[in-house]
Amino acid sequence: MNVSSNTAVILASSSEARATVLKNVGLPFEQIAPKVDEEELKHSMHAAGATAMETAVSLAELKALKISKAFPEHLVIGADQMLECGSIWFDKPVDMEHARAHLTALRGKTHYLSNGICVAKSSTVIWHHTDQAALTMRHFTDEFLTRYLEQAGEDILGSVGAYHLEGLGAQLFRKIDGDFFSIMGLPLLPLLDFLRGHKVVIT
C-alpha cells in the first residue's frame, strides 16, 4: 500500500470505531490493517500467566511494529483492547448466537476493558499508554436481549463485548466507570497530547 509522504500518522488497525474517533477530531491519517496472529499471542500470554492489560499492550505493540517496519518514517499507532470478566477473557463474537452467549454471560456483572495503545517509529515503540474501564451490565430480560440483537444487527460482531456504547448498547448498562474514548478502543486524549508534542496536532 502507498502512503502519502504528507501524512505523518498511520493507524495500524482494521477497526472502524478507532478510525472514526480519529476522523471525528480532524486528524489526517492512513489506516492499514496489520496481518498478525492475535489469537496465538493471546493464547501464549494467557498460558504464561500474563494479565489482560499486559496482553493488550503486547498486541498494540505487535500491530504498530508490524506496520512501522514497512513505513519507518511515519508515526504508527497500535491499539488493542481486552475484555475480562472474572478470570475469563472474551474475544469478538463470531456470529449472532455467539453474541447472545457473550451478553448472557456478562448480564448483571461488572467486566473490565483493558486498553493498550502505543506509537512506533522506525521499528521502535516511542510511546505507550494504558487505561482500564469498568462496565456493569444491568439484569436485562431475555426479551430485551432478543430485541437488542435484532435491532443492533451484525455490526456488533466487530466489538469484543457485542455492543456499541454510542448507540443501542448504552441500554445494556447500569453503571460505567471509565473514559468514553477508551471504551471505544482508543484512549484519545493522551494520544492527542503525544501528537501535539510531535507537532502533528496544532497546540
Cα 103 to Cα 21, 106, 109, 112, 178: the distances in Å are: 25, 5, 10, 14, 20
Catalytic residue among 37, 80, 142, 155: 80
Which helix (DSSP H) or strand (DSSP E) does residue 129 occupy?
Answer: strand 124-137
The verdict on whether 80 is a catalytic residue reads yes
Give CA–CA dist 149/153, Å, rounded.
Answer: 6
> What cell does 173 get?
448498562
Contact 163, 90 (CB under 8 A): no
Angle between helix axes 142-152 and 96-106 (nearest 10 degrees) is 140
> Would you please indicate which residues are annotated as catalytic (active-site) residues?
80
